[in-house]
Amino acid sequence: MNNFINNFYKNQALFYKVFLFIVTAVLIVYLLPKGGKFKYEITKGKPWQYENLYAPFNFAILKTDAEIIKEREQIIANNIPYYKFNESIVNQVKAEAPQQIKLIFADSILVGKQKVISNYVESTLNELYEYGVLQEERGTKYDKLVYIKKGNEAYEVNYGKIFPQDEILPYLTKTITQNNLNAFKPELLEIFYNIIKPNITYDESLTQKELDSKLNAISYTRGSIERGTIIVSKGEIVEGEKLDILNSLKKEYESQVWSDSSYNWILLGYSLLVCLALLMLLLFIRKNRRDIYDNNVKVSFIFFNILLMVFLTTVVVNFEAKYVYIVPLCILPLTLKAFFDSRLGLFAHVITVLILGFIVPNSYEYMFLQIIAGIVTILTVSELYKRANLFISVGQITFIYILVYFAFTVIQEGNILDLNSEMFLTFILGGLATLFVQPLIYIYEKIFGLVSDMSLLELSDTNSKLLKELSEKAPGTFHHSLNVANLAEAAANEIGANAMLARVGALYHDIGKMENPTYFSENQTSSVNSHDELSPRESAEIIIDHVIKGIEIAKKNNLPDRVIDFIRTHHGTTTVYFFFMKEKELNENVSPESFKYPGPIPFSKETAILMMCDSVEAASKSLKEPTTTKINDFVEKIIDKQMDEAQFLNANITFKEIQLIKKILKQKLKNIFHLRVEYPE
Q: Where are the domains of the chain?
A: 10-36+260-441, 82-202, 453-672
Beta bridge partner(s), residue 85? 200
Model pTM above 0.85: no
Residue 35 pLDDT: 60
Give the chain's residues under pLDDT 50: 675-681
Nearest to 285 by CA among 27, 651, 31, 21: 21
Neighbour tally for 68: CB within 10 Å: 14
What is the reported pLDDT for 118? 83
Instruction: Name the helix (H) or strand (E) containing 288.
Output: helix 260-288
For residues 383, 388, 392, 393, the Cα torsion angle rounded to the nearest 10 degrees is: 30
Length of the chain: 681
Burial of 30 from C-beta contacts in 10 A (0-12 / 13-18 / 19+):
exposed
**How far is residue 372's CA from residue 397's CA, in Å, rounded to a whole number?**
9
Q: Classify residue 646 as exposed, middle or buried by CB count within 10 Å of its CB (0-12, 13-18, 19+).
A: exposed
Q: State the pLDDT at residue 676.
A: 46
CATH number assigned to the domain with residue range 453-672, chosen from the 4 options 3.10.350, 1.10.760, 1.10.3470, 1.10.3210? 1.10.3210
Select from 647, 520, 513 the least CA-distant residue to 575. Answer: 647
- What pLDDT was estimated at residue 664? 92
- CA–CA distance, 600 with 585 (Å, rounded to integer): 29
Q: What sign does the CA torsion over 175, 176, 179, 180 have?
A: negative
N-term to C-term CA, the chain: 90
Contacts 24+ apart (CB under 8 A), 13-20: 13/294, 13/296, 16/296, 17/282, 17/296, 17/299, 20/296, 20/299, 20/300, 20/303
